Structure 1
Amino acid sequence: MKLDLGGHAFGHAAERPDGRRYLLSIDLARAAGILLIVATHCWPDIPWTEAETGLMPLFFRSSTVMLVFISGFMFNYITRQSDQPISHYVTKRITRIWSAYLVVSAPILFVIFFVHRRADVWPWVYEMPLTAEVAVFLITGKHIAYLWYIPAISLFILLSACFRFVDRRNLYAWAIPLSAVAAILLGRDSLYGVYSTLGKAIFILPSYLIGMCFSNYYVGNGYRVGRLPTLVCLFLVTTISTAYFFWSRFDVHLLWIQKVCLVILLIRFFDDQGEGVLFGDALRKIAVLAFPIYFLHGYAINLLRLAYGDAALLALVGNTLAARIGYLLAKIVVVTALSIGMCALVQLIAGQRRSRYLIGA
């Protein structure tokens, strides 16, 4: 079914045992977001041409903000319907995230300290005592590059009371534009060293705030995305993508806006498609395991690197553009499946209750 711009398609929001609604559209958008993140970390190993490499930010730059947006959405959705103090939300979330973060980080930290040091780390880090080195890696997520998201989103969780203040006072008209200007002007890496997490948090802040604001709108609009937001997002995605395609000097820091609009369009698409979406069962499974897939997909990618080289494998079938695109899609599927398999193994050994604190699910 094509995307209906009439604004009549209701979101799928079934009742849950705890009284909240299960938001299928949000779950499927989360699955799409984690698949895009997996793709973001798969494509660099493939031998693209220089022109193709230059276009990759259009598809993959700032893909993490899709999960940031959904995190902001769910923060508002959960806390607005809960009668528990905000401290309970903070404690529960931080405990689960950081217990899994520490467990997943342990193997790579061991390798970094005792087997092979990372070359792309600030030299002064290795001059510090071991405990201080560990602290720096965990605070910055530098041990596995994409894990910067964990300390950054943890900072938002710790500031939940401030975000709830913004929501209760309806300060979005001020907070979103100011934070968006800061994100665009400063970019993702405005601060370095142990402060790099703060710089990244500033960059993703508007995406989180937009997710919070959208949550209120979505629920108030009958669990659906209306016609006006759909048209605005279509316009922004088209305009920003076209500008980047034709203007090589286009500021890549604007691409976070493209990704935020993209996730809203995905939610609208899933509102329209509902239960009939293609590969719906697989996407629901991925959505449930999005957190451990995020944690584990780096290990899956490195396992594949040890097994074979992408360029050598592509050479066997002919290194055409169609082959490279097909290979990327296949690699996304394999990495995701490996991540789910590792998750299933941990759940089998430790049990699903304990695995929440080991890998996040």
Structure 2
Amino acid sequence: MVFLGYIHSFRALAILFIVAGHAIDFFTWPQDSADIERLLRIVMSNGSVLFVFIAGYLFQHLAVKYQHKKYFINKLKNVIVPYLLVSIPAIVVFVFFMTRETVWPGFYDNAPWQQVIYFYLTGFHLAPLWFIPMISLFYLIAPLLVYADKTRYFYWLLPIAIIVSCFVSRGLPLQSFVHFFSVYMLGMYCSHFKVQLNDKLSQKQVLVTLALFILGCVLYEFYMMAGTMTYVNYIQKIAMSAFFVGLLYRLGEKTNYKLIHTIANASFGVFFIHSYVLTASKMACEKLFGAKVAGSLLLYPILTLSILLICVAIIVAMQKLLGTRSRYLVGS
């Protein structure tokens, strides 16, 4: 199977967006920085779209050697088991010691064992972990997707799927599955036709056009819309996915740095643990300074890169300590 270096580099970039999106909430943003905060949320948040695109891309790329039993056992070991284990501290805290604001009304009227089940089924116990119940639905329909990839008309449905995604927002796992289906499908499409598409997407004029379109989406959402997780943001991140594929394919060996490969290899593990590291860092700063740190364009990138590199260091240490067994704990 051909190694896709540009997609491997994209994994490092995608996890940077995930960490950066969550790092915004580390700070308290003064009133005079409200526009900066909003702009950061528009550009850096919703990095899950990039992650799902890559998942679809790699799924189609590897579909040629797809085997039902092997595929499901691999996902069980490398995704579901780490999810179950990494979730334990957060679930213990939010079932027995604190309440979670993001759950629905009446959640805490249920018995503790039911709360545990609901947390596992929704991923609401920790900010990024809603992703796992949602992506698990893609694993369940993998045989259908392998079959659909071989049919003639499957990708003709892509424009309709994108329109559906614009009207169906994120929510509980099934709703999020519907929302993200189009970008997973887009990833599959870009992989299926990579021979034809990569040369086109990597052309300078196409990259400039995509960059201008992304900028237009950012400005439109900033000035014309309320909120930051709108359908325009989803379209922006879809365009960003295509842009990064073209850019990284064009750069080729120029992205062949050890640090990028290390971050990419640890990306799924970073996804699992970065919320814990961010929360611990936030609590430490609040204890040290007596309040949340005020956000700024100087501190924000420093914090984002620091959290990312700390998480990577933790994952690398666990890999050296536990070897391949580290996958059972953090998925990397």
TM superposition score normalised by structure 1: 0.82
Identical columns (%):
23
Matches within 5 A, 1:297-336: 297-309=274-286, 312=289, 324-336=296-308
2:20–2:45 Cα contact (<8 Å) kept: no
Distance 1:231 1:164, change over 3 A: farther
Does residue 75 of structure 2 align to residue 103 of structure 1? no
Does residue 35 of structure 2 align to residue 54 of structure 1? no
Query: AA paired with 2:181?
Result: L
For 2:260 and 2:97, locate their aligned partners in 1 and report how far apart those are by CA, in whole Å. 37
Q: CA deviation at 1:219?
A: 3.8
Q: Report the equivalent of 2:74.
A: 92
Distance 1:269 1:313, change over 3 A: farther
CA deviations on 1:131-187 (whole Å, 9 max, x unpaired) are 321111011110002211111111001111121222111334443122212111122
Q: Report the equivalent of 2:262.
A: 285
Q: Report the equivalent of 2:18.
A: 37
Query: AA paired with 1:245?
Result: F
Q: Report the equivalent of 1:188.
A: 170
For 1:39 and 1:314, locate their aligned partners in 2 and report how far apart those are by CA, in whole Å. 21
Does residue 147 of structure 2 align to residue 200 of structure 1? no
Q: Report the equivalent of 2:121.
A: 139
Matches within 5 A, 1:151-190: 151-189=133-171
Distance 1:51 1:242, change over 3 A: closer
Q: Give the structure with the higher percent helix.
A: 2
Q: 2:189 aligns with which of 203, 210, 213?
A: 213
1:90–1:160 Cα contact (<8 Å) kept: no
For 1:313 and 1:116, locate their aligned partners in 2 and report how far apart those are by CA, in whole Å. 21
For 1:171 and 1:71, locate their aligned partners in 2 and report how far apart those are by CA, in whole Å. 21
Does residue 205 of structure 2 align to residue 234 of structure 1? no
Q: CA deviation at 1:110?
A: 1.3
Q: CA deviation at 1:230?
A: 4.0
Q: Report the equivalent of 2:221.
A: 244
Q: CA deviation at 1:94?
A: 3.1
For 1:124 and 1:218, locate their aligned partners in 2 and report how far apart those are by CA, in whole Å. 48
Does residue 236 of structure 2 align to residue 255 of structure 1? no
Q: CA deviation at 1:207?
A: 0.5
Q: CA deviation at 1:124?
A: 2.6
TM-align CA RMSD: 2.7
For 1:75 and 1:226, locate their aligned partners in 2 and report how far apart those are by CA, in whole Å. 22
TM superposition score normalised by structure 2: 0.89
Secondary structure at the aligned position of 2:43 is classed as helix
Query: AA paired with 1:109?
Result: I
Distance 1:105 1:344, change over 3 A: same
Unaligned runs of 5+ in 2: none
2:17–2:45 Cα contact (<8 Å) kept: no
Distance 1:224 1:354, change over 3 A: farther
Q: CA deviation at 1:213?
A: 0.2
Query: AA paired with 2:223?
Result: F
Unaligned runs of 5+ in 1: 1-19, 190-195
Q: Report the equivalent of 2:112.
A: 130
